[in-house]
């Protein structure tokens, strides 16, 4: 393959709603560039990008795919991202590496829930957007309604570059508002036939052309002055203004087409080359230490790994965007995260599952390699001259869905852990780990559909049975008043036995507490508990009733009970323990006896000290269309939510509420159902608060029954 210079490269991410035609568009772009000689289809399960079995089974994209096409001796790198919001991790990975987002819109449906999701990610990553109005050959297509819909959701910067002469099954012509010509696609794919605009369309075309010129002029002061002087712009000036507008997110052009038939695809490719930024046009990219890379071969070599996949017969494949210098096969680079060298063993250009090896790429290109020792998503690889320069981490979304997971066969628990680690490596939005507190393996992801996809892999690829359940809630236990208890541990079974007696006084910890006057505190130790809160342990024993050497054993027994509280087995916190009396035996007393006595005395005193269960409360922000707010509010009330405030923004409402974590199980699924997928939410831990009395009684009963079952 030819070595492409930086200004000959365009990097795009195909994003948009599921079923809006991204995969079909990508297929046609490759066909236009003669990279493939036959177009596949999702129905025939033979497209370049949807080549994995799960994608062929479901006929939708589940993973991002990398491709390229070559138009007019320019290379367009194409990153085809999934449409469903559950796969937002791949959408963000693709947008991070791309310079322009091509957002496909179904002309029948207009703005869908997943269109909004894709748009939000372009806002987060600050990427330019070109809309491709697809499926204009469908009988229900309505271009004007779809444009109004786009402007309603995304603002007046949405600007048609083309409009269809007619829609429906006969769609094959558009009015191009840059060329001011009618483009006729008689045979679908290929360059269009250029004709004069029909008289019946001229008034509409001139009006939209003037509007486009105004938007193009707004991208540059010199162009604006020229526009005011001449009241028009040349085609060259228009393209310059459009390019600047696109780069600065001041203009979101709309291109028309019908990807399934190839209509408009060639013109889209031309537009991406002529009007969208090459890497050479972009401002410098700064690393976390302030080093700048300019997408120039004059910079030291610098790249970022933005995705990792696992391919049959290859193993892990790292997808990389080059931000500086040139990258050659067998080149050594440094990973600033580890400080270690990584050798680029091969440079591979992918077209779905097919690959081609190259010797060298220039700044701005997207390329793959294999056999990295420790290359993770988000890692930087740089020339040794810039070994401290690392690009900012990729801003993946926080998990919004979690379950407890374990192997159906307990002997495969270790295997399951390895599988989950591999899944996280290729999809950082999949997060799994054993919770010591809950004694469960917790799997977090982006939604129920995301989880079902992971289950498909467990069943069909890894061949491992798993059991999934609702995670336990990390409750906390504490006390509200003082209480005393004593316990004698006595065990005799031939020879030396065990004997230890401990008298405890428990009190709740709070800032500014005072010790009981009747106790003489000899020593006091304060411990910050790993799960929050404090333990104060005071030795008040007088007269040698308990030898000081047994105090650590008593403390150990208490700590064991703090880790598995007396009420529900949850962590206990904020307690003052006074050891004020006890008894020893000259022969049978030992550390084990006092540990057991301390633990049991603590449990008895705890249950008499006005115990209460605390639950985690989260700050919840829910955004939904204003007309759906009532249903969302009703649902939140049923979840014991307390609304703290509301905001409105462009037809949307955001509810700010405090909600118990225990009530948030599968909330993402419920919200999606209530809002037809248009609702989104974020949640963040806020505080612990006492559970209501009825909830506490239910939790106590459930724990008591679970203990009986274990016995």
**Residues in CB range of 502: below 8 A, 6 or more apart:** 486, 487, 546, 554, 579, 582, 594, 597, 598, 601
Residues 658-674: b if buried by 16+ CB within 10 A, e if exposed: bbbbbbbeebbebbbeb
Mean pLDDT of 233-256: 89
Would you state the pLDDT for residue 706?
A: 81
Closest CA to 668 of 643, 640, 632: 632
By DSSP bridging, strand 534-539 and strand 575-583 are parallel
> 215: which residues sit within 8 A by CB, 6+ positions away?
157, 159, 241, 242, 245, 250, 251
Q: Which of 235-244, 419-428, 555-564, 669-678 has the lowest mean pLDDT?
A: 235-244
pLDDT at 2: 86
User: Is pLDDT at 177 greater than 60 in this prediction?
Assistant: yes
For residues 546 and 582, is the Cβ–Cβ distance under 8 A?
Answer: yes
β pairing state of 302-311 and 380-382:
antiparallel
Residue 306 is predicted with a pLDDT of: 98
**Region 247-257 average pLDDT:** 95
- Average pLDDT of the residues of the chain: 93
Query: Hey, what are 125's tokens?
Result: 């990553």
Q: For residue 223, which phi and psi values (nearest 5 degrees)?
A: -65, -35
d(CA 643, CA 625): 17
Pick the CATH number of 477-606 from 1.25.40.340, 3.30.70.980, 3.30.230.10, 3.40.30.10: 3.30.230.10
- 413 strand-pairing partners: none
Q: What is the pLDDT of residue 469?
A: 96
Task: Name 122's Cβ contacts closer than 8 Å, sequence gap at least 6.
Answer: 15, 95, 101, 103, 128, 129
Cβ atoms of 596 and 629 within 8 Å: the answer is no
Q: How far does CA 86 lie from the centroid of its chain?
A: 8
Rounded to whole angstroms, how far apart are CA atoms 459 and 464? 6
- Beta carbons of 137 and 171 less than 8 angstroms apart: yes
Give residue 231's pLDDT band: very low, low, confident or very high (50, 70, 90): confident
Query: Domain 401-469 is of which CATH architecture?
Result: 2-Layer Sandwich (3.30)
Tokens of 234: 């040349």
Q: What residues contact residue 431 under an 8 Å CB cut-off, 6+ apart? A: 399, 424, 443, 444, 445
The answer to whether 72 touches 273, Cβ cutoff 8 Å, is yes
Q: What is the pLDDT of residues 153-175, one digit of tens each?
A: 999 999 999 999 999 999 999 99
pLDDT digits (tens, 9 = 90+) for 94-118: 999 999 999 999 999 999 999 999 9
pLDDT range class, residue 604, cuts 50, 70, 90: very high
How sure is the predictor about 650, in pLDDT bands with cuts at 50, 70 and 90?
confident
Residues in Cβ contact with 686 at an 8 Å cutoff, skipping those fewer than 6 apart: 617, 618, 619, 658
Class of domain 613-695: alpha beta
Is the model's pLDDT at 227 over the cut of 80? no
Query: CA 322 to CA 333: how far, in whole Å?
Result: 12
The answer to whether 603 and 625 have CB atoms below 8 angstroms apart is: no
Does the pLDDT of residue 711 top 60, yes or no? no
- Same fold yes or no, 401-469 and 613-695: yes
Q: Rounded to an integer, what distance in angstroms lies between the CA atom of residue 627 and that of residue 189?
A: 42
Average pLDDT over residues 120-144: 96
Residues 342/372, Cβ–Cβ less than 8 Å: yes
Alpha helices in 67-218 (DSSP H): 88-97, 113-125, 143-154, 199-217
Tell me how far CA of residue 256 lies from CA of 86, 189, 230, 547, 675, in angstroms: 28, 14, 29, 87, 29
What angle separates helix 235-247 from helix 221-230, to the nearest 10 degrees?
140
Quick one: tokens of 411?
């002997």
Query: Distance between CA atoms of 412 and 465, rounded to whole angstroms?
Result: 9
Mean pLDDT of 412-431: 96
Placement of tokens 């987060």 in the chain: 124
- What is the domain partition of the chain in residue ranges? 9-281, 285-386, 401-469, 477-606, 613-695
Cα separation values, 92 from 89, 123, 124, 307, 377, Å: 5, 11, 9, 10, 12
For the domain bounded by 9-281, which CATH number is listed? 3.40.50.300
Q: Is the pLDDT of residue 386 over 70?
A: yes
- Span 419-439, average pLDDT: 94
- At residue 476, does pLDDT exceed 70? yes
Could you read off the pLDDT of 502-532 as tens digits, one per residue? 999 999 999 999 999 999 999 999 999 999 9
Nearest C-alpha neighbor of 174 from the set 272, 268, 260, 256: 256
Phi, psi of 550 (to 5 degrees): -95, -5
Helix (H/G/I), strand (E/B), else coil: 211: helix
Q: What is the pLDDT of residue 491?
A: 87
Q: Residues with Cβ < 8 Å from 558, sequence gap 6 or more?
A: 535, 537, 577, 598, 599, 602
Provide the 8-state DSSP code for 165: S
Tokens (6 digits) for 275? 């009007």
Three-state DSSP at 90 gives: helix
**Contacts of the segment 232-241: beta carbons below 8 A, 24+ positions apart:** 235/178, 235/179, 238/178, 238/212, 238/213, 239/178, 239/274, 239/275, 240/216, 241/215, 241/216, 241/217
pLDDT at res. 230? 75
Q: Is the pLDDT of residue 22 over 90?
A: yes
Residues 127, 366, 18, CA angle at the centre, nearest 5°? 55
Q: Has residue 500 got a pLDDT over 60? A: yes
User: Quick one: pLDDT at residue 333?
Assistant: 97
Residue 189: the pLDDT is: 85
- Gap between the Cα atoms of 635 and 618, Å rounded: 16
Per-residue pLDDT of 53-90, as tens digits, reads 999 999 889 999 999 999 999 999 999 999 999 999 99
Average pLDDT over residues 292-318: 94
- What pLDDT score was predicted for residue 258? 95
Mean pLDDT of 17-26: 93
pLDDT at position 428 over 70: yes
Q: Is the predicted pLDDT of residue 495 greater than 80, yes or no?
A: no
pLDDT at residue 216 tops 90: no
The pLDDT value recorded for residue 233 is 79
Angle at Cα 397 formed by Cα 393 and Cα 402, nearest 5°? 130
Structure tokens at 559: 């700590």
> What CATH architecture is 285-386?
Beta Barrel (2.40)
Structure tokens at 454: 């992971």
Question: Per residue in 330-349, pLDDT tens?
Answer: 999 999 999 999 999 999 99
**Max intra-chain CA distance, the chain:** 113
């Amino acid at each position: 393959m030819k070595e492409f210079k930086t200004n000959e490269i365009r990097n795009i991410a195909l994003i948009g709603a599921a079923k809006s035609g991204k995969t079909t568009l990508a297929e046609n772009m490759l066909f236009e560039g003669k990279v493939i000689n036959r177009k596949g289809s999702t129905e025939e399960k033979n497209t370049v990008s949807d080549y994995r079995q799960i994608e062929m089974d479901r006929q939708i994209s589940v993973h991002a795919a990398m491709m390229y096409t070559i138009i007019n001796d320019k290379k367009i790198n194409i990153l085809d991202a999934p449409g469903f919001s559950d796969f937002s991790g791949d959408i963000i990975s693709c947008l991070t590496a791309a310079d322009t987002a091509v957002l496909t819109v179904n002309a029948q449906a207009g703005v869908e829930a997943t269109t909004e999701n894709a748009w939000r990610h372009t806002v987060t990553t600050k990427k330019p957007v070109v809309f491709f109005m697809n499926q204009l050959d469908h009988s229900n297509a309505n271009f004007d309604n779809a444009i109004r819909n786009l402007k309603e959701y995304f603002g007046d910067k949405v600007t048609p570059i083309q409009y269809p002469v007619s829609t429906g099954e006969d769609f094959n012509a558009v009015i191009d508002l840059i060329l001011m010509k009618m483009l006729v696609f008689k045979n679908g794919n290929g360059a269009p036939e250029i004709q004069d605009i029909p008289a019946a369309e001229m008034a509409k075309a001139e009006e939209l052309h003037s509007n486009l010129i105004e938007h193009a002029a707004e991208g540059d002061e010199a162009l604006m002055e020229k526009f005011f002087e001449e009241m028009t712009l040349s085609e060259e000036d228009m393209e310059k203004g459009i390019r600047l507008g696109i780069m600065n997110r001041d203009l979101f052009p709309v291109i028309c087409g019908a990807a399934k038939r190839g209509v408009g695809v060639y013109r889209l490719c031309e537009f991406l080359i002529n009007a969208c930024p090459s890497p050479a046009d972009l401002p410098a990219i700064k690393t976390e230490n302030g080093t700048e890379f300019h997408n120039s071969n004059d910079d030291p070599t610098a790249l970022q790994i933005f995705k990792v996949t696992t391919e049959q017969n290859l193993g892990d494949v790292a997808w990389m965007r080059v931000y500086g210098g040139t990258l050659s096969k067998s080149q050594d680079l440094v990973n600033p995260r580890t400080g270690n060298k990584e050798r680029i063993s091969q440079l591979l250009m992918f077209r779905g599952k097919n690959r081609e090896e190259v010797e060298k790429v220039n700044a701005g290109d997207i390329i793959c390699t294999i056999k990295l020792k420790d290359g993770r998503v988000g890692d930087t690889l740089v020339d040794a001259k810039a070994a401290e320069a690392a690009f900012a981490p990729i801003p993946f979304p926080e998990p919004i869905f979690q379950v407890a997971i374990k192997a159906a066969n307990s002997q495969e628990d270790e295997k399951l852990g390895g599988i989950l680690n591999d899944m996280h490596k290729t999809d950082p939005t999949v997060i799994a780990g054993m919770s010591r507190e809950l004694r469960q393996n917790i799997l977090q992801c982006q939604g129920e559909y995301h989880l079902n996809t992971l289950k498909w892999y467990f069943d069909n690829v890894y061949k491992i049975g798993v059991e999934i359940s609702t995670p336990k809630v990390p409750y906390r236990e504490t006390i509200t008043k003082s209480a005393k208890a004593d316990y004698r541990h006595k065990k005799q079974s031939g020879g030396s036995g065990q004997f230890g007696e401990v008298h405890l006084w428990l009190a709740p910890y709070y800032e500014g507490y005072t010790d009981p006057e009747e106790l003489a505190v000899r020593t006091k130790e304060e411990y910050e508990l790993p799960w929050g809160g404090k333990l104060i342990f005071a030795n008040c024993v007088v007269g040698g009733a308990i030898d000081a050497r047994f105090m650590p054993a008593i403390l150990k027994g208490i700590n064991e009970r703090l880790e598995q509280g007396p009420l529900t087995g949850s962590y206990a916190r904020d307690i003052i323990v006074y050891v004020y009396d006890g008894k020893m035996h000259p022969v049978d007393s030992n550390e084990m006896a006092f540990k057991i006595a301390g633990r049991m005395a603590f449990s008895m005193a705890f249950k008499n000290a006005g115990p209460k269960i605390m639950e985690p409360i989260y700050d919840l922000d829910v955004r939904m269309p204003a007309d759906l707010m009532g249903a969302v509010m009703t649902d939140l009330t049923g979840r014991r939510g307390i609304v703290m405030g509301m905001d409105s923004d462009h037809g949307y409402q955001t509810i700010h509420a405090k909600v118990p974590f225990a009530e948030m199980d599968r909330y993402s699924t419920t919200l999606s159902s209530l809002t037809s997928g248009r609702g989104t939410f974020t949640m963040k831990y806020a505080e612990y608060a006492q559970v209501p009395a009825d909830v506490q009684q239910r939790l106590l009963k459930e724990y008591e029954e679970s203990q009986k079952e274990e016995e």
